[in-house]
Chain A
Amino acid sequence: MRAKFFLIISFCIIFSISSIVETRELSIQQLEERKKADLERKKAREKRGKKNFQKKISITTDVVFISKEREVPPVLSNLDPILEDEGFYGVKLAIEDNLTTGRFLGHDYKAEFHRVLLDEDIGIEFKKLMKKGKKFFVVDFNHNELLSLMKIPGIEEVLIFNTRAKSDSLRNEECRKNFFHIAPSYSILSDALTQYLVKKKWKKWFLVTGPKKNDRLYADALKKSAKKFNIKIKDQKTWDFTSDLRRTAGKEVPIFTKTSNYDVLVVADEAGEFGEYLAYRTWDPRPVVGTQGLKPNSWHRTHEQWGATQMQNRFRRESGRWMTEVDYHSWTAVRAIGESITRTNSNNVRDVQEYMLGDKFGLGAYKGVKVSFRSWNGQLRQPVLLAAPRSMVSVSPQDGYIHPVSELDTLGKDRPESSCKF
C-alpha cells in the first residue's frame, strides 16, 4: 500500500479512567505524580473486583482523523516547537469522553489517525478510506485541500469536519451541507476583535497585511468588520520585507509605521513572519492587535473559565504540551459526533447531519454557553477568546451586541448575509 499511516490507534470500549487533575495548572512533574496516583487508585479498584456499568454494544462508530504533511516554513520565533501531532490528542480525549457516555448507552467509538505524506495525493488516500466504509472524517486540511475533497465522487455520503481552514468562501459560495466548520471563519474572528475595539473606542486603525493569501483573506475580513462597526481605517500597508529582521527590526519598523494618526495597529500575519516585530517598535506608542498582540482565538492557553482548566490539565497530562486551536477543534468535532449519536441513538450519516444542523443540538465546550452549528452553513457558533500571550483580555460577543436568535450570531456572517445555499 502506498499510503504510510503514521499512526493507527484504535480505542476499544475499555473504559479508561479520566485524569486526576486540579484547577491550578500543574507542572510536568506534578502531572507525572498524578498519573501514578491514578494508576494506584485503579489497581485498588480492580482489587475490590467490581465491574463497571456496561451496556451491550449496539452501535459502533469509526472516526477518522486525517492530516497532511506540509513543508515547514521558516519561523520567526524560536520559542514554539513545531508540532506534528496537532489534533491527535484532541481526538483521543474526545473519544474517551464519548466512550464514557457510550458505556452507559451501548455506544462504542473507535478512532483512526492518518497522515497524508508530502508526495501522496489527498484524493487517492481519501477514496481508500471511503471505500473501507468510513463515514466520519475530522480533517486538518487547508482551504485548497478541502476544495479538492469536494471533487471526490460520493463525498456527500460522508461527514467532514474542518479543523483548520478559516476562509470565508468555504462557508459561503463553496459551502457543502456535509462540511462542518469547527474552526471559526476569518469574519468571526475579525468581528470578535472589532467588537472589543469598538468598546474600547479604538476606532482609528492602521492595517498591516502580510504577503500571503491567508493574510489577505484575514485583512479582507477585517475591512468588512471595520465597515460593519463603523471603524475608520486611516492607513493600510502591505508588509513585503523579505529579509529576516531579527536583528534590524528596531530600525525598519518605526519608519514603516510612521503614518497618519491612528489608535491601534491591526496586523494580519497568519504565518507569524513579521507581526511579532511590530509591538514596542512602532513610531507612535500604539498597541498591536490581530494575528499578534491581542489575538482572537477559539482556544488559548490562558483560558481557565467555565471548566476550561479541567480541559487544559487533562490535555497537558495526556500530551505534555499545551492545547492548540486545532486540538480544540478536533476535540469539539468528535464530541459533536458523539453528542448527536447519543441523542439520536443512530450513527447514520443523515441522522447525525440533520441533528447537528437542527435547533436541538447543543454542546458544552468550556466556553460558558453551548456551542451549536449554524443551520445555513454548518459553521460552529462559539464565543471567541481575545487573548494576549499571557492574559485573557476579553471574550466576544461583547455585551450590548444583541441578536434575536443568538448573540453568537453577531460574529461572522449571519443568515441573511450568507451566500451559502444547501
Chain B
Amino acid sequence: MKIIFILLFYSFFNFNFVKANLAYITNEKDNTVSVIDIKKKKVIKTVKVGQRPRGIIMSNDGKLVLICASDDDRVEVRDAETLKLKYHLPSGPDPELFILSPENDILYIANEDDAMVTVVDMNDKMIIDDIPVGVEPEGMGLTNNGKVLVNTSETTNMAHFINTDTLEITENVLVDARPRVAMFTPDNKEVWVSAEIGGTVKVISPSNHEVTHTIGFEIPGVNEESIQPVGVRHTDDGKYTFVALGPANRIAVIDQKTKKVIKYLLVGQRVWQLAFTPDQKTLLSTNGVSNDVSIINVDKLKVEKSVKVGRFPWGVVISPN
C-alpha cells in the first residue's frame, strides 16, 4: 500500500515538471498566436492577440513572449504559460521584427514604415532612442555580447552596423535587393544577410565590413524569380545554416564553413521564418501561403511533419526550456 502510494506520487511529480518545448507562431492575417507542442507535433492552443502580429521572441528565462502587433503600433508582452497580456511596450509605428539584448534589458525594434530602429528600455518600458536607418527596416542581428546590432533595410538594400553603446551607425554595407534577415554566426565572425528579391545570401565580415561570400541558389524546375531567401538559422556546432526560400517552398541546407548548398528540403508554401529547439535537433518553419508549420529533423535533414496553424503564419519562436 505504501509502495504504491510513493510510486504514484513520484510519477505525478515527474509529469508536472517535464516541460515539453513549445513553439509560438504568429498568424499575420488571423491576429492570433498558435502554440505547438513540438513533441506531440500538435497545436495545443490558439490565442487572440493584437492586430497583424509578425515578429515574435521570448525572454531568456522563457517567461515572457514578446509580439510585434504591427497594426497596433506596439509590442505586446505576454505571459508564456497563459499567453495573457501583461503589458504593452511602446514601439514606434509598424513594428515588424525585433531583438532583445543578451541581458534582456534593451529591446531593439525595426519600424518598417518609419525607417527607424527604436530602442526600448525593458525595465522603464520607455523608448530611449531611435536610430534613423534605411527605408523599410526589417532584419535584426545581434552579436553574442550585444555590442553590434545589424539592421537591414528592404528598400535601401543595406545592412546597417550599429554600435549599441553609442546607438549610432558605424558602417553601411550594400547587399542585394530587399534584405530581410541578418544573422550572426555562433562565433560572431560572420553575419549572413538574406536578400529576398536579389535571391542571394551575402556573408559579411563584421570586422572590416566586407562581403566575403555571395551564396546563390539553383533548384531544378523552380524558376529563379521564386527563389526568395528570408529566414536564416545557424547551428551552434558550425555545421549547417538553414535558409528559407519563400515561394520556392524549400529550405536550403548550407555547409556553414564552405558556404555550399548541401540539400533543399521541400516544405510548405512561401516559407519565411525559422526557429530551432534549444537542443537544435528540430527546426520549425512558417509557411505563409499553405498556412502550416513544417517540423524538420536536423540530424536526418528530413521534414517530419507539417502542422496546420492560422492564416499566414509569419513568425516563430520556441521556448528555451
Contacts and interface: CB of A to CB of B under 8 A. Distances in A.
A50 B153 CA distance: 20
Interface in A353-396: 362-364, 369-370
Interface in B270-315: none
Interface stretch (B97-105, B170-178, B182-190): B170-178
Nearest to B162: A53
Contact of A364 (B132, B155, B226): B155
Contacts of B197: 362-364, 369-370
Contacts of B226: 369
A104 B113 contact: no
* Interface-central residue, B112, B132, B153, B172, by most chain A CB under 10 Å: B132
Contacts of B196: 364
Given A97-B156, A370-B198, A18 B172 contact: no
A362 B52 contact: no
Contacts of A339: 157
Contact of B157 (A21, A23, A34, A342): A342
Contacts of B27: none
B134 interface: yes
Contacts of A50: 129, 167-168
B224 A406 contact: yes
A20 B174 contact: no
Interface in A1-24: 15, 17-24
A313 B225 CA distance: 26
Interface residues of B, number: 40
A105 interface: yes
A403 to B, nearest CB: 8
A11 B51 CA distance: 36
Given A19-B113, A53-B168, A364-B154, A369 B92 contact: no
B113 A21 contact: yes
Given A53-B172, A406-B225, A17 B177 contact: no
B231 interface: no
A101 to B, nearest CB: 4
Contacts of A369: 197, 225-226
A29 interface: no
A101 B223 CA distance: 30
A101 B136 CA distance: 11
Interface string A99-138: 0110011000000000000000000000000000000000
Given A104-B156, A407-B223, A343 B92 contact: no
17 contacts: A17-B114, A21-B94, A21-B113, A45-B132, A48-B129, A100-B156, A101-B135, A101-B158, A104-B160, A105-B172, A310-B112, A310-B113, A342-B157, A363-B197, A364-B197, A370-B177, A402-B223
Given A50-B129, A100-B153, A406-B225, 8 more contacts: A20-B113, A21-B93, A45-B130, A53-B132, A100-B134, A104-B158, A363-B177, A364-B154
